[in-house]
Amino acid sequence: MRNLCTPALLLLLPLALSAQQSSAPPAPNPAALQAQPTSNNTSLTGAIMERLITDPVLENTTITVAVANNGAVTLNGAVAQQALADRAADVVKSVPGVKSTKNMILVSNDPFAPPKPPLPSPLPPINAALPAPPASNSPQTRLSDALARSAGLVRVASSIYDNEVLLFGTVETEQAKKQATEIARAVLPKAPVQNIIWVNPHPLSPPPMIPQ
């Protein structure tokens, strides 16, 4: 009887070991652990974002970062010029603790956005402050500044020709369109205002025609 049981036990032993291994929890994925936020990459993320926000060239851009535990940084967002995407990568590389960067920032120029001032040439060193622009009190400058200070008019531009104001671009509501007219009349009370701003247009619609 003992001789018959021994081979049976030997056959059942591998099956028991296999069942025990299959019921064990899976080993953690190193890549998944690396992506989890820790105090190290949280502080590094804060340092990177502070450097991006305070950089004088990138202060009006929308850029996000993802930081892994090994110091690898991925940049995302959209900018109007390739020089801005390159600048963001250079700024991130200057932060202590960053080991590598992957630049996924898209370069996309919004045709409805107001014109942006040209970048300084050459670009200032990282962390250097830009010199203050020369003060200007021209009607065009005062009108552009007044429109830029209104959150709902970020896609509105203006042009003054022959003492007549032309407003163009896009807004979300009729109230915002009226607000643009009121701002123009407040800045230039004696100038006629022509408002051809589109209200919430279809994304595929052509831009409004600007009178010659």
**pLDDT average per 10 residues of sequence, the chain (212 residues):** 50 51 46 39 81 82 86 89 90 91 85 65 65 64 86 85 89 90 90 90 56 54
Residue 205 contacts by C-beta under 8 Å, 6 or more apart in sequence?
Answer: 198
Residue 100: count other Cβ atoms within 10 Å of its Cβ.
Answer: 12
| Per-residue model confidence (pLDDT) at position 207 | 56
Predicted pLDDT at 44: 85
Please give the helix or strand (H or E) that residue 140 lies within, else none: helix 139-148
| Length of the chain counted residue by residue | 212
Residue 151 pLDDT: 74
What pLDDT was estimated at residue 193?
94
Kindly list the domain boundaries of the chain, sorted by start residue: 38-107, 139-199
For residue 52, list its beta bridge partners: none
38-107 against 139-199: fold identical: yes
Looking from the CA of 135 toward its CB, the CA atoms found within 13 Å total 1
**Between the CA of residue 20 and those of 25, 34, 42, 118, 154, what are the distances in Å?**
10, 29, 39, 67, 63
How far is Cα of residue 67 from the mean position of the Cα atoms in its chain? 16
Tell me what pLDDT residue 133 has.
47
Task: Tell which residue, 86, 85, 69, has the closest CA to residue 77.
Answer: 85
For the domain covering 38-107, report its CATH number: 3.30.1340.30
* Residue whose tokens read 């123009």: 184
pLDDT of residue 206: 56
* E strand or H helix at 165: strand 164-171
Sign of the dihedral through C-alpha 154, 160, 161, 167: positive
CATH code assigned to 139-199: 3.30.1340.30
- Decide: pTM greater than 0.85: no
Burial profile 142-151: b = 16 or more Cβ within 10 angstroms, e = fewer: ebbebbeeee
CA distance 99 to 73: 8
